[in-house]
Amino acid sequence: MNARSLASIVRQGNAVVQVRNRIDSLLSGRLGRLLERIGISRAKGENVSPVDRMNDLADTLLSVSGKASGPSLASAFFDLYDASSLEERRAFLSGLRARFPRNGKAIDAAIATWQAAPGEPAARALHKAAEARSHKLIRKLNTAPGGTCRLIRMREDLLSKGKLAGDEGALDADFEYIFEGWFNAGFLELRRIDWDTSASVLERVIRYEAVHSIESWDDLRARVQPADRRCYGFFHPQMPDEPLIFVEVALTMDLPDAIGLILDEKRVPINPHTASHAIFYSISNCQEGLRGVPFGNFLIKRVVGLLREELPQLDCFATLSPVPGFARWLAGAGGADGLAGEPLRAKAAEYLVDGRDAKGNPLDPVARFHLGNGARLEAIHADADLSARGLKQSHGVMVNYVYDLDAIETNLLTLSELGQVPHSPAVEALGRSLAA
């Protein structure tokens, strides 16, 4: 172990001791005596582990109903949680669902009440009795300062374990269920991100960009300052400086066939009022802890609405999208040796049109997203992304999905009812060339 690692461990240990002392101070006064009077005891002594102390605080938080003490207890819990090691945090999360199970006796009693006298009061009582105590704990923790953001980080700790099952999978489902309500698109604020946006938000855009990495501040400036470039993000009122998801848009005169044309910092901007196409070329989810919460489809539709109001001459809304699963699929289908140009595009057409996962959905995740929003697979381009990432994940192939607003419902029905990927005649021709 080197000196830096040892110093880090010492700092973390000191932080835990300091937090533990603050918690002891909080619970040794009137609040602690009151808790003991109503039958709530807590583990004491220096040898109590951080996991036991977190469980202790969670028990206490669930046991009290006071609005005054709740935020203080929730804040104390998060102070201890944040000061603990990742291993200790994961240990707490792994045991949380088992420690706070549903109340079977209360559910049985509520069912009996419903059966004896069905009605609205009995239905409400049954709903309350059936609620997982972990739901209640999550809501109470949210009363801490910055509670929403801290809960998202907590779920990130849970998801960092990889594939979840059993109690951990159930806890993850609890988080996702609650977050879907808290982060409903109707509660979110759509904001344009430009060069005058606060530095803290711009720094996060650089950090969170997940499709085409932003290499410098000049690179970022070229994406958000020119008149023919746009960036929009969803924000939550409790997290005003933390974008949840953002999309980058290029206003162009035609459908682009390579990302270099869009990202070129030396290009000559065009007048946005002469543009005919709005190209969504990068969509980045920013919060891993909000995985599974659907933002993207709402974001694109809202941005389309804004652009149509500002620039009514726009007649095409489309993407220039990566194909992240193509190289892996192609390797399993015989590899890409010798494939280039039209043969490579034809194999990409086969993957995108016919490839299916175990549930029968389009195999490629980006295709699944855009097709699931009602878009049409319009064109497939070779040598479109020559970055290291583009070559690794798709051999440089990129595609256009077109959002034809008059055809979205038809496209969705084609995908969901017929199991077919809506695609253009040009993509169909590529498929025929492969068969020939």
Q: What is the pLDDT of residue 24?
A: 59
Q: Taking residues 5-29, what's their average pLDDT?
A: 54
Choosing from 212, 236, 277, 370, which is the catalytic residue?
370
Measured CA to CA in angstroms, residue 365 lies from 207, 326, 390, 399 at distances of 22, 10, 15, 13
- pLDDT-derived band at 339 (thresholds 50, 70, 90) equals confident
Q: What is the pLDDT of residue 119?
A: 87
Q: What is the pLDDT of residue 38?
A: 43
pLDDT at 42 over 80: no
Q: What is the pLDDT of residue 185?
A: 87
Q: Taking residues 158-176, what's their average pLDDT?
A: 92
- pLDDT-derived band at 103 (thresholds 50, 70, 90) equals confident
Tokens coding 333: 């289908």
Choosing from 321, 381, 394, 395, which is the catalytic residue?
321
Task: Please indicate whether residue 286 or residue 102 has the higher confidence score (pLDDT).
Answer: 286
This prediction has a pTM of 0.84
**What are 44-76's pLDDT values in tens digits?**
555 678 898 899 889 888 887 656 567 888 998
Q: What is the pLDDT of residue 305?
A: 92
In the residue annotation, 433 being an active-site residue is answered as no
pLDDT at 13 over 80: no
Q: Taking residues 251-258, what's their average pLDDT?
A: 96
Q: What is the pLDDT of residue 161?
A: 87
Task: Please indicate whether residue 63 or residue 243 has the higher confidence score (pLDDT).
Answer: 243
Q: What is the pLDDT of residue 428?
A: 93
Q: What is the pLDDT of residue 140?
A: 93
Q: What is the pLDDT of residue 101?
A: 86
Q: What is the pLDDT of residue 9?
A: 44
Q: What is the pLDDT of residue 323?
A: 96
Q: What is the pLDDT of residue 43?
A: 53
Sign of CA dihedral 50, 55, 56, 58: positive
**What are 349-386's pLDDT values in tens digits?**
999 999 999 889 999 999 999 999 999 999 999 999 99
Q: Taking residues 406-421, what's their average pLDDT?
A: 92
Q: What is the pLDDT of residue 62?
A: 87
Q: What is the set of domains in the chain, with CATH numbers?
A: 3-182 (1.20.140.90), 185-319 (3.40.630.180), 322-435 (3.40.630.150)
Lowest mean pLDDT among 293-302, 381-390, 397-406: 293-302
**What are 116-155's pLDDT values in tens digits?**
888 898 899 988 888 888 999 999 999 999 999 999 999 9
Q: What is the pLDDT of residue 14?
A: 57
Q: What is the pLDDT of residue 160?
A: 92
Q: What is the pLDDT of residue 12?
A: 52
In the residue annotation, 321 being an active-site residue is answered as yes
Q: What is the pLDDT of residue 340?
A: 85
As a whole number of angstroms, the distance between CA 136 and CA 64 comes to 12
Q: What is the pLDDT of residue 397?
A: 97
Within 10 angstroms of residue 154's Cβ, the number of other Cβ atoms is 23
As a whole number of angstroms, the distance between CA 252 and CA 278 comes to 6
Q: What is the pLDDT of residue 435?
A: 61
CA 4 to chain centre: 33
Q: What is the pLDDT of residue 433?
A: 73
Among candidates 87, 75, 85, 76, which has minimal Cα distance to 11? 85
Q: What is the pLDDT of residue 76?
A: 87
Q: What is the pLDDT of residue 44?
A: 54
